[in-house]
Structure 1
Amino acid sequence: MEAESKTTVSLSKSGNGGDVLSERDEARSGKFPLTVWEVMAISGVVLGFLLGLLGVYLTMPTSDYSFLKLPRTLQDLQVLRNDLESYTRDYTLQVLVGYNLVYIFMQTFMIPGTVFMSLLAGALFGVIKGVVLVVFAATAGASSCYFLSKLVGRPLVFSLWPDKLTFFQSQVAKRRQRLLNYMLFLRVTPTLPNTFINFASPIVDIPYHIFFLATSIGLIPAAFVTVRAGITLGELQSVGDLYDFQSIAIMFVIGVITVTPTLFGNKSES
């Protein structure tokens, strides 16, 4: 009886045998989920990004930069592209550093709108350079989110996505032997949101090398589709035009191929 009273509350067990959610997480779910130390850690990361952007700004020529803002519509993106084209030719390094800082910041803190940043990469740098840039920035941003979540993310994941966390943990536990295939499948297909995968992966004990490989490889198809569309930015009427039937079919086939070894592995083990 005494042992039962000391049992921690958890949604499920991780592959390494640790609790995904402890009794402390359960107790904190009804109030602000972060401690003062955790808020300070997040604030320090935000400050680091802001200082980096300030450094980029100070190295640019004196000009009117009122056009610089996170694009929320295709119209915003077209204005940003038109104004940045000349700066990209003359100040390529500063634009690249600024682009990466903004993209990684958005990925780290799960800020919507990275699809517009991917379109912008295509419009400014073309397909090949744009895909390389987007995959690099997206992988770096996802990695930043992974380590931030490893540091302070457990109570936030529980507060934001308790049901998805339960599902994700159960799927990871069943596919430990072929985890890379499963993570590639998740990256290629919209089974789970990428923002959730980035934040929840360290909580369910997905090793970083698996996370990194699946992210850097699995994001290539979507990055190619989006960057290619950025070249013909003026022809887009909505973000929905990015994913035509052919693009969706190709990504679905890739997703099936990546997960097939996992499915056969599960059958052989049962």
Structure 2
Amino acid sequence: MDTSTLRRLLPVAILLVGLAAFLLLGLERYISYDMLVRHKATLTTWVAGHRPLAALAFLLAYAVMVAFSLPVAVLATPVGGFLFGTWAGAGLSVIGATLGSIAVFLAARYAFRDLFRARAGATLARFEDGFRESDFNYLLFLRLVPVFPFWLVNIVPALLGMRLRNYALATMIGIVPASIVYAGVGAGLGAVLKRGEHPDLGVIFEWRILLPLLGLAVLALLPVVFARLRRQRSP
């Protein structure tokens, strides 16, 4: 493997090594609801006395968790709601998740896009052209539907040549609804933890929440559908 290839793979290697170290060292035990219960008073007191610093620390920690695809990232938004309230917690989560997603996107595009294109050939080129026509709408749809793995949606647009500006904007907008839901769950976390229970993160799959999200996702694809219908009808 030549030097240029190694240099291109370095960002992805760093992210993978970070994830492997996190799992091998069992660090997930330090980021759990049990740890939150144990240190709740200390944490809330510190956040109340150092709110700007705490907000920045939370935002950066969230970005790191998403960039390294750590399996505890799903806990972060409820914790943000618990510490900062629904709206501030959701806002910080959206910014942190977007920054982390951009890191993964850039690493994947830098490392794999040319290799992926060379292997896939003409088939990928056709698929890439179709995706690029409405890349913002496609990604917005994927972000709004809470069933696609977040880490996978971070990588695929990079391989398909999506523009960074569209990627960042679609990601930021698309994760807002779910972030508000999870931060809202976190805002009531104090009472839940006091009862010795864990919050129900499956609430987003309840029909009263899932249906509006699916509705927004369908709306995101309507411009794509209309554009294709116009092309088919044009002589």
**Short-chain TM bin:** 0.7 to 0.9
Deviation string for 1:41-94 (max 9, x for gaps)?
Answer: 4577799xxxxxxxxxxxxxxxxxxxx9322xx434444544310110122233
Question: Would the alpha carbon gap of residues 218 and 80 (structure 1) be closer, same or farther in structure 2, given more than 3 Å must change?
Answer: farther
User: Are 2:142 and 1:186 equivalent residues in the alignment?
Assistant: yes
How far apart, in 2, do the equivalents of 1:157 and 1:232 lie? 45
Please state how far the C-alpha of 1:153 moved relative to its aligned partner.
4.3
How far apart, in 1, do the equivalents of 2:130 and 2:146 lie? 20
Please state how far the C-alpha of 1:215 moved relative to its aligned partner.
0.6
Point out the structure with the larger helix share.
2
Contact 1:187/1:219, CA 8 A, preserved across alignment: yes
5+ residue gaps, structure 2, are 18-28
**Alignment match of 2:54 (pick from 87, 95, 118):** 95
**Alignment match of 2:159 (pick from 179, 203, 210):** 203
1:149 equivalent in structure 2? 108
SS across alignment from 1:214? helix
Question: Would the alpha carbon gap of residues 39 and 209 (structure 1) be closer, same or farther in structure 2, given more than 3 Å must change?
Answer: closer
User: Are 2:224 and 1:262 equivalent residues in the alignment?
Assistant: yes
CA RMSD of aligned residues (A): 3.6
1:70 equivalent in structure 2? 31
Instruction: Please list, as runs of the form range in 1=range in 2, the aligned pairs for 1:1-270 lying within 5 A after superposition.
Output: 36-38=6-8, 40-41=10-11, 69-71=30-32, 74-154=33-113, 173-190=129-146, 192-233=148-189, 234=192, 236-270=198-232
Please state how far the C-alpha of 1:245 moved relative to its aligned partner.
1.8
Contact 1:189/1:251, CA 8 A, preserved across alignment: yes
How far apart, in 2, do the equivalents of 1:156 and 1:77 lie? 43
Please state how far the C-alpha of 1:102 moved relative to its aligned partner.
1.7
TM-score, with structure 2 as normaliser: 0.75
Please state how far the C-alpha of 1:239 moved relative to its aligned partner.
2.5
Please state how far the C-alpha of 1:251 moved relative to its aligned partner.
0.5
How far apart, in 1, do the equivalents of 2:148 and 2:116 lie? 14
Please state how far the C-alpha of 1:268 moved relative to its aligned partner.
2.1
1:15 equivalent in structure 2? none
Question: Would the alpha carbon gap of residues 156 and 247 (structure 1) be closer, same or farther in structure 2, given more than 3 Å must change?
Answer: farther
Structure 1 segments, 4+ long, off by >6 Å, are 43-47, 155-158, 167-170
How far apart, in 1, do the equivalents of 2:16 and 2:151 lie? 18
How far apart, in 1, do the equivalents of 2:103 and 2:47 lie? 26
Deviation string for 1:220-262 (max 9, x for gaps)?
Answer: 1010110001011216554223542211111111111111111
2:25 equivalent in structure 1? none
Contact 1:175/1:266, CA 8 A, preserved across alignment: no
How far apart, in 1, do the equivalents of 2:215 and 2:187 lie? 25
Contact 1:172/1:179, CA 8 A, preserved across alignment: no
How far apart, in 1, do the equivalents of 2:142 and 2:107 lie? 21
5+ residue gaps, structure 1, are 1-23, 25-34, 48-67
How far apart, in 2, do the equivalents of 1:151 and 1:266 lie? 31
Output the amino acid matched with 2:226.
Answer: F
Percent of pairs identical after alignment?
Answer: 22
TM-score, with structure 1 as normaliser: 0.66
